[in-house]
Chain A
Amino acid sequence: GENVEQHPSTLSVQEGDSAVIKCTYSDSASNYFPWYKQELGKRPQLIIDIRSNVGEKKDQRIAVTLNKTAKHFSLHITETQPEDSAVYFCAASIGNSGYALNFGKGTSLLVTP
């Protein structure tokens, strides 16, 4: 399948700081870009998603931006809290497959008090 590159692989921030995770994709037909959070020992869960007809979406402390021309999208977490510590995965839909997704390799975020 097409690739989704995610950076950084690990990220450590102090409580209250912002965290930014960036992803790029290669499939020009991708039109759906979700972000999943996986806490230790738990299943991945959707935290926010964005579709290709929107450039930015915000939900409280979390925001996602999308640049379709450059094929990259980013997750922004503001005012980080220790409970934000988890692995975050970006994903991009696979062409016209419905909602089959290619995932990035994940970013391990650690928020220290």
Chain B
Amino acid sequence: SQTIHQWPATLVQPVGSPLSLECTVEGTSNPNLYWYRQAAGRGLQLLFYSVGIGQISSEVPQNLSASRPQDRQFILSSKKLLLSDSGFYLCAWSGHSTGELFFGEGSRLTVL
């Protein structure tokens, strides 16, 4: 069966520090991969998605970047965090024939 893991689960970082959130999927090949941010009252905001290795699409201009160095690995990064980057980040995957998203456990980032 397919599983998705993301880490770390919680992170407290100072303003200006770098960020790296990692997500891996097991049990499937060539998944679509996504990074979403969930803020209270704002729903799920799509940040990045990838349909294949090295293919990254960004939906929102921001202080973040994403990379897909391997087929089932998706990384969310920042060189210098801002206070506004605080939030709950969810990684997800879907197959190419169905649209169902399977979400990871989420990573709560607090920037101080």
Residues of A bordering B, CB below 8 Å: 1, 6, 9, 32, 34, 36, 43-46, 49, 89, 91, 93-94, 97-106
Contact = CB atoms under 8 A, between A and B. Distances in A.
B43 A100 contact: no
Interface stretch (B12-20, B64-72, B103-111): B103-111
A100 B44 contact: no
A104 B43 contact: yes
B100 A49 contact: yes
Instruction: Specify which of B90, B94, B101, B104 lies most central, judged by the most chain A CB atoms within 10 Å of its CB.
Output: B101
Interface residues of B, number: 25
A89 B32 CA distance: 20
Contacts, number: 64
A91 B105 CA distance: 20
Interface in B83-102: 90, 94, 96, 98-101
Contact of B43 (A34, A93, A103): A103
A94 B106 CA distance: 23
Interface of B: 32, 34, 36, 41-46, 49, 51, 57, 59-60, 90, 94, 96, 98-101, 103-106
Contacts of B36: 103
B104 A34 contact: no
Contacts of B41: 9, 105-106
B103 A43 contact: yes
A103 B45 contact: yes
Contact of B44 (A45, A49, A98, A103): A103
The 3 A-B pairs at the shortest CB distance, nearest first, are namely A99-B99, A105-B43, A103-B44
